[in-house]
Amino acid sequence: MSTFAVVPIDLPLDIEEGNWLIKATLTDNEDPKQIKMDEYIKSANGTIRGKIVFKVEDKDPFEIFYTNANQYERLFSFVKDNYSTNLVLLGPSVIFRINKFAPVWKAGQDDVIRGVKQHSVTTYLNPKLEVRFYYKGNSLEGLKRPTRAWFRGYDPNYMGSTEDKFWFDIYSITRVDQNFDTIVTPKPGIVCDRYFSESSAKAKVPFPKLTQHSLHFIAKTKGLNAGPAKNDEVYADEMYQIARIKTSTYGKDNETIKTDIIYDYQLGLEYEFTQEEKCSVSPMSLSAPGIVEDSSLTYGNYKLDLNRLLNFDLNYRYLGPVLFEDRDEIGLHAWETLNKDFEVGETTYSNFVTTQYFSKLTDGQTDYTLVGTTLKIPANEKKMAASLATRYYDYGHEISYSDSMEKFSVKDCYSELKAKRTIAFFFTCSGTPCDYFNQYYYDIQDKLREGLINSGTISASRISNIELIINSEEMIIYVTILDFPRLKNAFKMQKMKLAEKTLATSSSVTIDGDEEACLRTNSYKYEPFTAVAFCKTENGNICQRIDEDKVKLVEDKDNGIPCSVFMTPLKNIFRYNRELPLENIHKKLALIEISLTAPNSNEMVKLTPYQVTDVTKVDDDVHLTNSLYETIMQNSKLIEDNLDTVRVDGTNDLSSCRRKCVKSAENNCQSFSFCTYDDRVECFVSTNSTGKTTLHESCDTYLIESLTKYKKISLRRFINIEKSVPFESFLGKCASFCSNSDSCKSFQFCSGSCSLAGYYTDETSVYRESCDIYIPKVLDRFVSSGQSIVEDVFHTEVNLNADQCAALCYHWNDNDVNQKECEWTAQCRG
């Protein structure tokens, strides 16, 4: 008989595709204890993964995981020093290895095995190892599924191995319908380095890091000896460098602690909102969520990174299909990594394992969705010292414009009128009616916001609202921009007595100003530093920047110089030099451009404003009080008919809905409804003051007081009003008639008598005690050009103020040419 020089571990494992379950026992001739074994095998596309579960008497079961990528991965020191160790590690599937090897079998004597007479065949894998298979039936099928695999001898490759007899009693070899994908994957949290062999195909499965710039999710975290349970609702935008996290932490006695913080990574600020609707602003620290050092910059400041936010920036290796918590869905995959030195409370653990769980989409895409994260700190092989499990819900990458503006709004921190500006951007549309761009309503909002933020002069948290008003001839975009803290309030300050050697550097200068001036001086410096010191001395005020990599902050409490030390850990003070203050901010934004790509033609459309105006006083000084409306109808809603009454987009509060009405294209909006729901708001505007309404508890309807659209010229009446018949009316009704008439450019009201009129000029009117003339308020539609004048003049009026000149110019129509440029000095010229 031919003999060979191999051992079973040298033989490759080969098995038909499918999910296989083998039930067997392993017996040592010298030991009456049997080892019960169940082996689970998953064979697919040439990859074989398996798990062997074995148990000795009443002891806890052991698990062995393997792949066919490297058949030696399972060879490690075990409890016995004989050949049974090899057989335990190989499992009963060793019969497939031997059959694949196709040795020369020699027929042996029949024998009774477990009460049944069976045939036997014998072969030698090497001179020291005899193998015998027992089977029923014919040898062709019987050898594929033997009932006993008997071994005698030892492995000559291992010193100290002793010869003995061992056998597998195989009770069943079954291909099952159940998918063993998750069963043959090692339990997360163990990190078996041999399983993660670089030769394994698993090592080539890339970790699904984020490529999107925005993210939102709800995370529910519970722990074992690792802190209280908590819920987080997270909105984060890496492109705009802003995030909002609402956290509910559940403590003892059902106590719930809630926090709500917006993180502005550009300015390095944290805005915290309390349940009492109060807002506090504080400097950001390096412990802010998702913060990393920007490696693309040489000066080393910090930024928000979404992969860091979710701990995706670690060196993960693919584990395989798994189950997670109570989510038993098919298609979950895990990646994990082993980390060092993790603190829980006051205890530092040398090792901890982070596992990320993803659900693979089944709609033909290759993306993964994050479903959970676990962090496990092992105390020993059987027990966890601490663990955290996080489950993710409503996980998505798209944040709508309305959600973004709402979730990242810090307007409650700047509620005073002087702490914000409303800027109007005026656009004309050459070759295309402006109302064509209604289809790009939200794109225009996003693109203007993107342009403002990418300018590097306005952080995302400062943009409070963007509204569009579009008609056929013109597009107006209103942007509300908020203030930001003074420099001395933007950085953490410590009172310290600094040693003289700390201040004796070349970056130390003497200034005349205060702390704010010191910080402002250093905000022009592009190089990084970690602190700025302001110290009052007999020789003047010292202002010095400190880089702790070069100069240490040394405190001398006895003989040091008293200083205010402002910490700049994010190294972002230079940003405050670029950030635009509110004063005259509109003049700095005149060059903002909007670029759109038409979805059908892929044509690039660029829009540049012909005028940028600060309309804060014109628009935002008007408070929404009952005096602005003829009637406020509570719990009512205008019925949308898409003719007289339409729903308008781009509103987020009552003020913006009112603006949509009073700034409507033809200036003929007479009423509007504003509705507030739990998850959204709605705004309806109507050209009809008596539009149909329906009862709705979430809505109120407002009838616009037309008089607010007009400027009063006291004690004047027209000399001659052509084609106008005076009629009895009250003042508000008279204003309403003029507002609804295309030919009415102004109106006259004399002691209860109303007359509709044309253009107002000083020449066409005279003094009259009982009369007043009302002209449209349109001055905000124009911007001052300073001392420059219009060269082409076709009409001149004298004795008009700026409001009167604007009203004349705005409605001037000569041969269907609408004038958009006027000049006003001591006289008015068009």
Q: pLDDT tens digits for 703-755? A: 877 787 889 999 999 988 766 788 888 888 888 888 878 788 899 999 889 99
Whether residue 61 is contained in a domain is answered as yes
Asked whether residue 181 is domain-assigned, the answer is no
Residues 811, 729 share a domain: yes
Q: How far apart are CA 96 and CA 551, in angstroms?
A: 69
Strand partners, 133: 121, 149
Q: Give the CA distances from residue 120 to residues 23, 109, 703, in Å, rounded to whole numbers and listed in that order.
A: 21, 6, 100
Helix or strand (DSSP H, E) at 518: helix 515-522
In a domain, 148, yes or no: yes
Does residue 749 share a domain with residue 716? yes
Task: Looking at the structure, tell me whether residues 767 and 819 fall in a common domain.
Answer: yes
Q: List, in sequence order, every residue forming a beta bridge with 748; answer none if it has no partner.
A: 755, 773
| 657 in any annotated domain | yes
**CB–CB of 575/267 below 8 Å?**
yes
Looking at the chain, the whole-number percentage of residues with pLDDT higher than 90 is: 33
Q: Is residue 774 part of a domain?
A: yes
Same domain as 216, residue 74 = no
519: alpha, beta or left? (left if phi > 0; alpha if psi -120 to 50): alpha
* 190 in any annotated domain: no
| 627 and 568 within one domain | no
Residue 144 lies in a domain: yes
Indicate whether 533 and 455 sit together in one domain.
Answer: no
185 Cβ neighbours under 8 A, 6+ residues apart: 49, 65, 319, 320, 321, 322, 334
Same domain, 785 and 800: yes
What is the reported pLDDT for 823?
A: 58
pLDDT for the residue 457:
93
User: Residue 350 maps to which CATH number?
Assistant: 2.50.20
Residues 521, 596 share a domain = no
The CATH number covering residue 749 comes to 3.50.4.10
Please state the pTM of the whole predicted model.
0.73
Both 387 and 453 in a single domain?
no
Same domain, 272 and 366: yes
Same domain, 721 and 609: no
Q: Mean pLDDT across the stretch 245-273?
A: 91
Q: Is residue 598 part of a domain?
A: yes
More confident residue, 690 or 642: 642
Task: Give the pLDDT confidence of 319-352 residue by residue, as tens digits.
Answer: 888 888 766 666 788 998 888 776 655 667 777 8
* pLDDT reported for residue 335: 92
- What contacts 167, CB < 8 A, 6 or more positions away? 26, 27, 148, 149, 150, 151
What would the two tokens of residue 454 be?
């990418």
pLDDT of residue 755: 92
**Mean per-residue pLDDT, 187-194:** 71
For residue 421, the enclosing domain spans 415-484+588-617
pLDDT digits (tens, 9 = 90+) for 420-440: 998 989 888 877 788 788 888
What the block records as the tokens of 804 is 């009167």
Tally of domains within the chain: 6
Asked if residue 829 and residue 726 are part of one domain, the reply reads yes
